[in-house]
């Protein structure tokens, strides 16, 4: 039996050596010997670039800030996902991702965006990845984040994830050296 795209992506995110290699090669500002200040949107920008680079390392087309066509039921909700991966072979999206600092409000908003965006794609992506970041030592748990339950959308009906999509919620753990943050690892939350 062949391995699914979902399980391959999960395996890649759990492979710390692979992920750190991508960080060193494509987003070195997230390495411990460089680091990035937690100011303005710098960590967000670097995290978005990391997600796109991981897509490319996975053999997909990895892009940042992808504007998704408006979903039929949510015409008033414009969504630009932080990263999208596309299959070279089919030219269809395989993964949509959001990368945000951890907070309950932001997590729910970004999960909603991913579900709306997935409904707007011509072909439903197999994986919706919500990546929530914080510094090491900060407790990040999200039992209240239930990806299979309807989510409210302002100005539209509630949204649920497409049945064809699998939702990964991961914690991007960052270390701190003085004022500089650096990426440590991913940790699966759901």
Say which DSSP state 2 is in.
Answer: P
CA 137 to chain centre: 21
End-to-end, the C-alpha distance of the chain in Å comes to 25
User: What domains does the chain contain, in order, with CATH numbers?
Assistant: 5-188 (3.40.1350)
Backbone angles phi, psi at 99, to 5 degrees: -130, 115
Question: What percent of the chain shows pLDDT beyond 90?
Answer: 68
Q: Tell me the pLDDT band of 156, cut-offs 50, 70 and 90.
A: confident
pTM: 0.93
Query: Which of 50-59, 67-76, 89-98 is least confident?
Result: 67-76
Q: Are strands 127-135 and 166-177 parallel, antiparallel or unpaired?
A: parallel
The whole-angstrom separation of Cα 130 and Cα 82 is 10
User: For 121-137, what is each residue's pLDDT tens digit?
Assistant: 999 999 999 999 998 77
């Amino acid at each position: 039996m062949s391995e699914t795209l979902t399980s391959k992506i999960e395996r890649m995110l759990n492979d710390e050596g692979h992920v750190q290699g991508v960080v060193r090669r494509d987003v070195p500002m997230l390495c411990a010997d460089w680091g990035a200040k937690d100011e303005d949107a710098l960590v967000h920008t670097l995290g978005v670039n990391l997600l796109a680079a991981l897509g490319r390392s996975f053999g997909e087309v990895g892009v940042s800030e992808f504007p998704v066509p408006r979903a039929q039921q949510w015409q008033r909700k414009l969504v630009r996902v932080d990263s999208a991966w596309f299959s070279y072979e089919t030219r269809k999206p395989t993964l949509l991702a959001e990368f945000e600092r951890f907070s309950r409000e932001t997590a729910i908003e970004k999960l909603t965006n991913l579900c709306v965006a997935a409904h707007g794609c011509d072909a439903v992506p197999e994986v919706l990845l919500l990546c929530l970041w914080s510094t090491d030592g900060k407790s990040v748990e999200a039992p209240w984040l239930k990806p299979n339950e309807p989510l409210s959308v302002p100005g539209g009906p509630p949204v649920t994830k497409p049945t064809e999509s699998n939702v990964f919620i991961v914690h991007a753990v960052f270390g701190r050296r003085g004022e500089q943050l650096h990426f440590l690892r991913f940790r699966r939350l759901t």
